Amino acid sequence: MWMDTKPEVKGANRRQTNTIQHVLNGLLLFTGDMRHLDKYMQDKLFVLQLAVGALRGVTMVILANNPLSGALILIALYWTSPWMSLLGALGVLASMLTALIIGQDSAEVTAGVHGYNGMLVALLMGALSSAGDWYWWLLVPACLGSATCVFLYSSLSSVLDRWDLPVSVFPFNTVIILYLLCTGPNNPYFPHYPSLPPGTLDPNDTDLVPAEVMRGVVLGVGQIYACEELGPSFLILGAVLLYSPLLLLHALLGSAIGILAGLSMAVRHECLYSGLLGFNGALGCMSIGGLCFIFNWRTHLLAIACAFFSSYVDIALGNLLGTVSTRWSSRGFFGDVSHVFAVFFSAMNSVPLLPQVGLSASSWASTIIITLMLLLTGSLATYRIPSDQVMAPEHNRSFRLSWKSGKVTEVESTDVGCG
C-alpha cells in the first residue's frame, strides 16, 4: 500500500527516521484525493471553495482529483502556450458558473464535476483553431461551448444514472464535434484545421524512428490536454504521479498500447510520433486499472484489453470522422492547373467537389469503451467500484480490503468521472 506505508525501522537512527517519516507523512497529505482539504475548506469563502473545485476539475480530465495536480497542469499548459492555459481556465470557470446559474447541486459544483468538460471544449477549440493564438473572438464559442456542456452533463446523467454510469466526457465530445460541424474549415469567423485520419502508411514511407516512438508514448499522455510538447507532458505526468503512481503507470502503459495498436494497423507515422494515437489508450487503461475497478491481476489484464479496444476504436473512428467531409469547395486547390481544368471545374460549378475537412475523433473511443466496460456482467463486475465511491486507486484498494474485513465506515466521495 502506497498511502499507508509505515516503515518500521529499529536501531540508532530511529529519531532521524521519525523525522523523515514525519516529513513523508506530511508530503502524503498532498497526494491522493486530498479529502481533508475539503473538510478544511468547508467554512471558508465560497469563492475559495470554487477555486479548489476548479483545480479539481482541471485534473478530472486526466481522471485524477487533486487540486495541486490541477495547479501543476495549469502550469504545464502555460508552458506550452499562455493562450491555451487562458482558454482552459476560462472553460472551467464558464462551465462551473453556468452550473451554479442553472441551479445544479452546489456541492457537485464545488467538487469540480462540472469543470472538466468545459475545459476540454475550450482547449480543443483553441488547439484546432487555425486563426492563431490570441484570436479574441474565439472566447465567445469557447465560453458558450463550455456552458453547453453543463446542460448536456445534467441531461445525460439522468439517463446514465440508471446503470450507475458516469457521464464522463460525453458532453465534451458531443459539443466539440458539433462545433466543428457547425463552423467548418472555411468559416470566416471561426476557421479550424482539418483532422487527418490515421489512414494507411505510404509504401515508400521512411522507417520508424524508435526514439520518436518513445517520445510519442509520453506525448500521448500530454495529448489528453491537447499538449504536443515534451516538457509540459512530463509535468502533466508529474501531476498524475502526485495523485497516484498506479494511475501514472497505467497512463504510460495505455499510451504505449495505443502505439502498438497503431503499428499493427500500419497507420501513418506522424500519428504515432505526435501521441495522437496514445491518449485514448491511456484514458482507457487508467479508468479500468485501479480507478473504476479494484486493482488486481484480473482487472490489470482487463485494463490492458481496454487500452487495446480504445486504441482500435479510436483508429476506426478517426478513419470514419477524418474523411467525413463537412464542406465541399472547388476553390483554392486548383490555382496552378491549366486552363483546361478551369473549364472542367466551371462545368462542375453546380456540384461542389472537394472535401476539405475531417472531424476529430477526440476521445469518443475511450469514453464509449470505458462505459461498456463498466457495464460488464459476470465475475469481473464484482471488482467494480460504485461510481460515487471512486477515489485514487491506492485508496480504492485499501478501502475494499478493509471492507472485506468488516471495517467499513461511511465514505463521502464524489464522482471522479471515471473517464
By CB under 8 A, the residues from 163 to 222 that bind a copy of itself are 163, 177-179, 181-184, 186-189, 197, 199-201, 203
Q: Per rule CB under 8 A, is residue 287 in the interface with a copy of itself?
A: no
In the complex, the smallest distance separating the C-beta of residue 168 from a copy of itself, rounded to whole angstroms, is 15
- Among 6, 10, 162, 407, the residue binding a copy of itself under the rule CB under 8 A is 162
- Among 344, 401, 411, 412, the residue binding a copy of itself under the rule CB under 8 A is 344
Choose between 224 and 265: whose C-beta lies nearer to a copy of itself. Answer: 265
Q: Per rule CB under 8 A, is residue 295 in the interface with a copy of itself?
A: no
Per CB under 8 A, the segment of 7-15, 18-26, 349-357, 396-404 that binds a copy of itself is 349-357
Where in 13-72 is the site for a copy of itself (CB under 8 A)? none
Per-residue mark of binding to a copy of itself, 109-128 (x: CB under 8 A) = --------------------
Where in 218-257 is the site for a copy of itself (CB under 8 A)? none
Where in 371-390 is the site for a copy of itself (CB under 8 A)? 372-373, 375-380
Encode 136-161: b = buried (16+ Cβ within 10 Å), e = exposed: eebbebbbebbbbbbbbbbebbeebe
Between the CA of residue 178 and those of 138, 175, 312, 419, what are the distances in Å? Answer: 16, 5, 23, 21
Per CB under 8 A, the segment of 227-235, 282-290, 321-329, 402-410 that binds a copy of itself is 321-329
Q: Per rule CB under 8 A, is residue 339 in the interface with a copy of itself?
A: no
- Among 325, 330, 389, 398, the residue binding a copy of itself under the rule CB under 8 A is 325
Q: Per rule CB under 8 A, is residue 296 in the interface with a copy of itself?
A: no
Q: Please compute, for residue 30, the number of CA atoms within 13 A of its CA located in the half-sphere on the CB side.
A: 13
- Among 305, 330, 389, 398, the residue binding a copy of itself under the rule CB under 8 A is 305
Residue 81 contacts residue 116 (beta carbons within 8 Å): no
Number of residues lying near a copy of itself (CB under 8 A): 76
Choose between 236 and 370: whose C-beta lies nearer to a copy of itself. Answer: 370
**The three three-digit cell numbers of residue 62, written as one number:** 486526466
In the complex, the smallest distance separating the C-beta of residue 407 from a copy of itself, rounded to whole angstroms, is 27
Q: Per rule CB under 8 A, is residue 107 in the interface with a copy of itself?
A: no
Where in 77-106 is the site for a copy of itself (CB under 8 A)? 102-105
In the complex, the smallest distance separating the C-beta of residue 358 from a copy of itself, rounded to whole angstroms, is 10
